[in-house]
Structure 1
Amino acid sequence: MAHKEFTLDDLRRILIEAAGADEAVNLDGDILDTDFESLNYESLALLETGGRIEREYGISLDETTLSITHTPRSLIETVNGALAALV
């Protein structure tokens, strides 16, 4: 059974759904290696984002994992690792 890949577009959508978007930050730009803090997403927003990812993709993300994923790239890699483990 193939798993769905979690992409940057998926993350952008969920970030906006979970916490909105700061008008000063362009989420459409090259944000893969930009700290979430620089994107104005704090720990509470990331916890909400993590919860939405868990529900939508049927995976479990540890709170510690969410606290150490500082960039969209690292969160995407973590989610895709969890998805791969489901197979």
Structure 2
Amino acid sequence: MTANMFTLNDLRRILREGAGEEFDLDSDIDDVTFVDLGYESLALLETGARISREYGIELEDETLIDAETPRRLVDAVNALLLATRA
């Protein structure tokens, strides 16, 4: 799937697909760390794999580690999407 932009709602959907409704993702989570949201590194790696498959980008593990919040991950994915279009 190729998309114009990756949004926080896209990330919420993918996080729910991987972890179910266990975590509160409906509140203002933009700048809350994934650790504080309850997501450990394995869950983030799965999230990254899902994003890579769905959006056709190569999302490195290091990018996931560096993107400590949903906002930073959304920004990183969008940067990769823009780079693939250039």
| Structure 2 counterparts to residues 49-68 of structure 1, below 5 A | 49-68=47-66
1:83 corresponding residue in structure 2: 81
CA distance in 2, matches of 1:18, 1:81: 23
Aligned partner (choices 40, 44, 53) of residue 42 of structure 1: 40
2:3–2:55 Cα contact (<8 Å) kept = no
Secondary structure of 1:21's partner? helix
Identity over the aligned pairs, expressed in percent?
56
Q: How many equivalent pairs are there?
A: 84
Distance 1:21 1:41, change over 3 A: farther
The offset of 1:30, in angstroms, is: 0.4
How far, CA to CA, are the matches of 1:3 and 1:9 in structure 2? Answer: 13
Length-normalised TM-score, structure 2 = 0.91
Task: Choose from 57, 70, 73 the match for 2:71.
Answer: 73
- Please provide the CA RMSD for this pair: 1.4
Q: Are 1:20 and 2:23 matched, yes or no?
A: no
What's the CA shift string for 1:10-66, capped at 9, x where partnerless? 0000001112232xx421110000000111111000000000000000000111111
Structure 1 portions without partners, runs of 5+? none
- Say if 2:11 and 2:70, in contact at 8 Å, map to a contact too: yes
TM-score normalised over the length of structure 1: 0.90
